[in-house]
């Protein structure tokens, strides 16, 4: 019988260099210790976590009803077959070139079943369920870390209102917009990170530290926060008109407050999304411009799909000294990943030409589009080329959901 662990190291190195698919590299390094050390660690590509498969949640007699009215579909999506296990969750490795077949890797992830994913930082997802429980979830190890319950926010759905009359779906879908982490926890016992959440219909800020029993409100000069980022050891936030704030969260003894860094952009639109992202040590503001393909919404009017579509992206760099925005026309060797995830930039060259430089990879987080129109989200995804302004798909299939569309999971460390 062949002893695979005793193959010559130079032969293993030769084989390893010919593996250009990440999944093959992972399998190669998992054979044994000698194979693992013969292939150097490598950056994992960004993964697109697909929406939970809705057909598998239905009773067998109901799977042929998917072409019925929209309301029937939405009710079916929330149904749960207690006689079967939750469906497998699909992950797609992004990149690999146009000619390479896109492979969906399915894993058991019951912890995310019927959960809404409100963020991801590094290897961790942030989920909220119908019970208002919020967790950090590592989809590979399936380790979970409890965060304070939604009920502990100072402000609920409305100031001073009683949230108990709301449905479980509203508790899952209606309060949280996004959550990010200051750093990626190395384990479930790690204590050196801080969590920040955008919550409430007026999109306010709150923070929590490991072990906290409740969320602490961050006082801000303006509300309607659109995105947050941990940049140079401080949290920054941007609101819907482009006002950027820096947060002084202190040591936990004083009330955290935010102050204005720069006033709003010269022109903004309701049909935009704004993101903060670090790239080469600079703080960038990225504006996603969205087209309304149905005109003015009327309740009796039939919604034509797609109802909205990303048109372009504008990128600005913050000049902290002069407190002004400078337009950015190229990302150079870098590409951006935007959505419900913590916005990040990555050097495309690190991924064996599987990613396109000077591009923006985006998912569908335009909630006022799909949730406001009561349609499934996830159809407006793609890759925007900063040079020729074109938009191409990054996922060749279809994955939509009323409450939790696809989002990025971007590992922060190489496989070891």
Whether 24 contacts 45, CB under 8 Å: no
Whether 89 contacts 110, CB under 8 Å: no
Distance CA 238, CA 357 (A): 26
Whether 343 contacts 361, CB under 8 Å: no
Distance CA 34, CA 7 (A): 9
Distance CA 331, CA 334 (A): 5
Residue 400 to residues 44, 75, 179, 289, 381: CA-CA distances in angstroms?
Answer: 25, 15, 21, 21, 11
Contacts of 369 (CB under 8 A, 6+ apart): 290, 307, 308, 377, 380
Q: Which helix (H) or strand (E) holds 275?
A: strand 272-279
Based on the number of CB atoms within 10 Å of its own CB, is 82 exposed (0-12), middle (13-18) or buried (19 or more)?
Answer: exposed
Whether 352 contacts 20, CB under 8 Å: yes
Residue 220 to residues 19, 66, 118, 237: CA-CA distances in angstroms?
Answer: 50, 45, 21, 10
Residue 381 to residues 50, 95, 139, 377: CA-CA distances in angstroms?
Answer: 12, 14, 22, 10
Domain boundaries in the chain?
A: 1-40
Q: CB-hemisphere CA count at 13 Å for 348?
A: 20
Count CB-CB contacts under 10 A for residue 65: 12
Whether 377 contacts 330, CB under 8 Å: no
3-state DSSP call for residue 35? helix
Distance CA 197, CA 150 (A): 10
Whether 384 contacts 373, CB under 8 Å: no
Length of the chain: 416
pLDDT digit string (tens) for the chain, length 416 residues: 457 677 788 787 787 777 766 667 667 776 777 777 777 766 677 899 999 975 444 333 333 343 444 445 544 444 444 446 889 999 998 865 555 678 888 999 999 999 999 999 999 999 999 999 999 999 988 999 999 999 999 988 764 455 667 889 988 999 999 999 999 998 888 989 999 999 999 999 999 999 999 999 999 999 999 999 999 999 999 999 999 999 999 877 788 999 999 988 877 787 899 999 999 999 999 999 999 988 776 665 788 888 999 999 999 999 999 999 999 999 999 999 999 999 999 999 887 667 999 999 999 999 988 887 889 999 999 999 999 999 999 998 999 999 999 999 998 755 44
3-state DSSP call for residue 390? coil
3-state DSSP call for residue 5? helix
């Amino acid at each position: 019988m062949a002893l695979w662990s005793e193959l010559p190291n130079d032969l293993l190195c030769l084989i390893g260099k010919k593996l250009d698919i990440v999944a093959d590299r992972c399998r190669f390094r998992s054979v044994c210790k000698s194979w693992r050390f013969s292939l150097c660690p490598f950056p994992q590509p960004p993964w697109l976590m697909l929406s939970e498969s809705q057909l598998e949640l239905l009773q067998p007699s109901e799977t042929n009803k998917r072409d019925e009215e929209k309301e029937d579909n939405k009710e079916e999506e929330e149904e749960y077959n207690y006689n079967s296990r939750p469906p497998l969750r699909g992950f797609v490795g992004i990149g690999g070139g146009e000619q390479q077949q896109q492979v969906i890797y399915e894993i058991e992830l019951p912890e995310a079943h019927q959960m809404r994913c409100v963020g991801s930082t590094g290897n961790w997802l942030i989920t909220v369920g119908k019970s208002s429980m919020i967790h950090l979830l590592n989809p590979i190890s399936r380790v979970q870390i409890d965060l304070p319950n939604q009920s502990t926010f100072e402000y609920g759905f409305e100031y001073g209102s009683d949230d108990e009359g709301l449905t479980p779906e509203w508790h899952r879908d209606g309060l949280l917009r996004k959550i990010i982490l200051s750093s990626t926890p190395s384990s479930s016992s790690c204590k050196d990170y801080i969590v920040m959440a955008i919550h409430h219909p007026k999109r306010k800020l709150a923070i929590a530290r490991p072990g906290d029993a409740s969320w602490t409100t961050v006082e801000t000069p303006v509300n309607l926060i659109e995105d947050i980022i941990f940049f140079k050891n401080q949290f920054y936030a941007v609101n819907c008109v482009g006002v950027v704030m820096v947060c002084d969260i202190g040591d936990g003894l004083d009330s955290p407050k935010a102050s204005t860094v720069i006033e709003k952009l010269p022109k903004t639109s309701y049909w935009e999304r704004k993101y903060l992202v670090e790239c080469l040590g600079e703080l960038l503001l990225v504006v996603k411009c969205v087209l309304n393909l149905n005109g003015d919404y009327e309740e009796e009017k039939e919604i034509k799909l797609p109802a909205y579509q990303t048109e372009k992206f504008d990128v600005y760099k913050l000049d902290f000294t002069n407190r002004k925005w400078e337009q950015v026309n190229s990302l150079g060797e870098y590409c951006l990943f935007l959505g419900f995830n913590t916005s990040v930039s990555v050097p495309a060259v690190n991924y064996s030409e599987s990613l396109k430089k000077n591009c923006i990879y985006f998912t569908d987080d335009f909630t006022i589009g799909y949730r406001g129109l009561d349609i499934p989200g996830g159809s407006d995804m793609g890759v925007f080329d900063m040079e020729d302004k074109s938009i191409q798909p990054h996922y060749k299939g279809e994955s939509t959901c009323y409450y939790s569309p696809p989002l990025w999971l971007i590992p922060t460390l190489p496989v070891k």
